[in-house]
Amino acid sequence: MTIFNLIVPILVSFVLTAVQGFWVIPYLKKLKYGQTILEDGPSWHKKKQGTPTMGGIMFIFGIEVAVVVGYLTYQLTSKQGGVFRENVVYLIAGALMALGFGFLGFLDDYIKVVKKRNLGLKARQKLLGQLIIGIAYLAAIGAFGNHSTAIEVPFFGPVELSWFYYPFLLFIIVAEVNAVNLTDGIDGLCTSVTFVAAMGFMVIAALVSNDEMNILAAALAGGCLGFLCWNLHPAKVFMGDTGSLFLGGMVIALAFGLNMPLVLLLIGFIYMIETLSVVLQVISFKLTGKRIFKMSPIHHHFELSGWSEGKIVMVFSFVTLLGVLLSIAFVVMG
């Protein structure tokens, strides 16, 4: 794959996402699609009340268009053009899965903002939707993609899972998409962490010569960068569940498309820690009546410890970068 084939999806995604902000954000304000700040968040978040949400539609459009344009450009200019590769199945299925998660998040946001039901979809409704989307994705890659039931364990090699393969992958999908959703709690955090992860996936895809996943990762990186133009502190727009669930789907699509779902333990370390902090907080409070953290997810703990939102974003992005470097080392050594 040439540099040109990478620049195209990055630029298309970045420009489409960034430019949309000039009319999408005012339109969301006009519709009064403002974020409702929950009582159990940090008190100073109240000043963010009314900031437009559902802004994830900006990068969803930018990324999906960039994937199409990027792949068509690749077909026209690459030596691989016109040759059907198995990776195309993962590209199409992954982009559609992310779109499905984005639509589920849109329904959740719509109920919160328009119907004024603060918690959105009920937990079981959201879980059912995630399971349906995850099963549909696994059915697609199982029918048309790689039929191996072995999974790559970082620094150890392939492990055969047999019948447990698909249930395990489904668990990863649901856990990861919710983990990314939890990371979206302060200005620019989820977008920045996902941008660094996308860049890591670009390098890994290049190392294993997976051009299709490189296109997907490039589009994701460009979309995140374009959205950061509006989402960095102080945020002019929030992505909402519309955006965070979509980003979760994209991260999953990349890891699965590279046949390295467990690399999410490294590249997605921050997502995992955010989830773990919530789980530990709940368990501790139910068993002992005491909380481990000042507030969960853990980014709120650091906020209440005096860290600025900008510092949290920088530190969490740096930790993600370390996970990316470990992942690259895993690929190089493996």
For 178-200, the pLDDT digits (tens) are 999 999 989 999 999 999 999 99
Residue from 37, 33, 15, 13 nearest 25 by CA: 33
Residue 51 CA to its chain's centroid (Å): 21
Residue from 142, 150, 178, 163 nearest 262 by CA: 150
Residues 6+ apart with CB under 8 A from 164: none
Distance separating alpha carbons of residues 99 and 65, to the nearest angstrom: 12
pLDDT in the model for residue 83: 54
Instruction: Dump pLDDT digits (tens) for 191-241.
Output: 999 999 999 999 999 999 999 999 999 999 999 999 999 999 999 999 999
Distance separating alpha carbons of residues 188 and 194, to the nearest angstrom: 10
pLDDT in the model for residue 32: 72
pLDDT in the model for residue 117: 65
Residue from 157, 144, 137 nearest 86 by CA: 144
Query: Region 251-279: what's the mean pLDDT?
Result: 95
Distance separating alpha carbons of residues 177 and 252, to the nearest angstrom: 8
pLDDT in the model for residue 73: 94
pLDDT in the model for residue 160: 86
pLDDT in the model for residue 38: 54
- Whether pLDDT at 324 is above 90: yes
How high is the mean pLDDT of the chain? 90
pLDDT in the model for residue 162: 86
- Whether pLDDT at 266 is above 80: yes
Query: Region 30-47: what's the mean pLDDT?
Result: 61
Query: Region 304-325: what's the mean pLDDT?
Result: 96
User: DSSP readout, 107-129?
Assistant: HHHHHHHTS--TT-S-HHHHHHH
Query: Region 23-44: what's the mean pLDDT?
Result: 71
Cα dist. 221→109, 111, 186, 258, 321 in Å?
24, 29, 19, 17, 14
Q: Say if CB 226 and CB 58 are below 8 A apart.
A: yes
308/143: higher pLDDT: 308
Distance separating alpha carbons of residues 52 and 32, to the nearest angstrom: 7
DSSP3 helix / strand / coil % (the chain, rounded to 5): 75, 5, 25
As a whole-number percent, the residues of the chain with pLDDT over 90 amount to 74
Q: Residue 226 is which amino acid?
A: G
pLDDT in the model for residue 42: 60
- Whether pLDDT at 37 is above 60: no
pLDDT in the model for residue 81: 59
Range from 31-45, 113-127, 291-305 that averages highest in pLDDT: 291-305
- For 157, the 3-state DSSP assignment is strand
Distance separating alpha carbons of residues 272 and 262, to the nearest angstrom: 12
Query: Region 36-61: what's the mean pLDDT?
Result: 74
- Whether pLDDT at 272 is above 60: yes
Cα 62–Cα 80–Cα 82 angle in degrees, nearest 5: 80
Cα dist. 138→111, 279, 320, 329 in Å?
28, 27, 27, 28
